[in-house]
Amino acid sequence: MPHMLMLRTAFAAGATTALVGAAALAAAPAGATTASSSYAPSSSVTAQPAPLNGYRTIIGSPVTVATQTQGRGTVFCPTGTVPLGGGVIILSADPLISVNSSFPAQGGWFADVNNASANDTMIRATVVCAAKPAHYKVVTRLGLANPAATHTTVAATCPTGTKPLSGGAASNSESLFVNLSSTAPTGTRAWQISENNATGTDHLVSVVAVCGSVKGYAVVHGPAVSVPGNSTASLAVNCPSGRRSTGGGTVISSSSLGAYLNMTTFGNSHNWISSATNTSAIPVNASTTVVCAAVVV
């Protein structure tokens, strides 16, 4: 299935505006916001934040991504639960492997990984699931411009009264040199992503915020870590005691097209881990963020 059609199909299951083919995605106005009808909150607007029920973290089946190709990992939540956040494990530290996309769709989490290295690699998509929290909604801004040779930063904002539990990005590109640089909460209600396009062709990127109202909500930012030129750094941050992660991500403080993520996922139910690669000659700073909530245990 062509990549654009795969992307359109994945989002169509969770968007109130159904896209018809690649042309419809390309025509979506920049800044257009669609909210998932399948993820609409079942509780009334007066529902109060509560600890998460049915919480669990799931690691998907391994998927081989052959050298010089892009591959997709998927993982789905059990019946009666919804995706709160997710990411991807990449079983290689090769700097030529990068995350292209990481986003919720079809009741689970999808991740696209570029393998520009000389060897095949293995990936596993990951997802955090729970019973639907109060005011749960997935907000998506579809088809935003990601021009050639550009570092693009965009955000999706949660409805008033909710906060971002996680978020992600989806690129329409199969190029091995279009990759995710940052994905993390920003402000009090938004999720922001940065996508690199180190090619000579314009592409599109969509940003997603998974929103809700939960008890014990906390956002914890890890320390800034210097990533020297031509190196990869591992990053991690923990939730406060007694809380568990709903999602997370990483911010690379650079617009360099040579700085990007090659892993972002929970390490366990209490933290978030990432790997940031810097193929440029100039050091960059990177930090990982985890979003946390109280859970019924």
Range of the domain at 92: 3-42+51-213
On whether residue 220 sits in a domain, the answer given is no
- What single-letter amino acid sits at 25? L
Look at residue 294 and tell me if it is in a domain.
Answer: no
**Tell me, what's the pLDDT at 297?**
82
- The total of structural domains in the chain comes to 1
Does residue 221 lie in a domain region?
no
Residue 198 belongs to a domain: yes
Please indicate, yes or no, if residue 228 is contained in any of the structural domains. Answer: no
Q: Which residues does 92 contact at the CB level (< 8 Å), separation at least 6?
A: 117, 119, 121, 122
pLDDT of residue 47: 64
**CB atoms near residue 264 (< 10 Å):** 30
271 falls within a domain = no
- Do residues 40 and 169 touch, judged by C-beta distance below 8 A? no
In a domain, 195, yes or no: yes
Residue 31's pLDDT is what? Answer: 31
* Pairing outcome for strands 56-59 and 121-130: antiparallel
- Give domain status of residue 264, yes or no: no
pLDDT at position 22, please? 27
**Under a CB-based contact definition with an 8 Å cutoff, are residues 194 and 180 in contact?**
yes
Chain-centroid distance, C-alpha 27: 23
**Whose CA is closest to 164, among 133, 127, 124, 204?**
133
Q: Identify the segments of the chain with pLDDT beneath 70.
A: 1-47
The pLDDT score that the predictor gives to residue 35 is 33
In whole angstroms, give the CA distance from residue 122 to residue 216.
35
CB 220 within 8 A of CB 237: yes
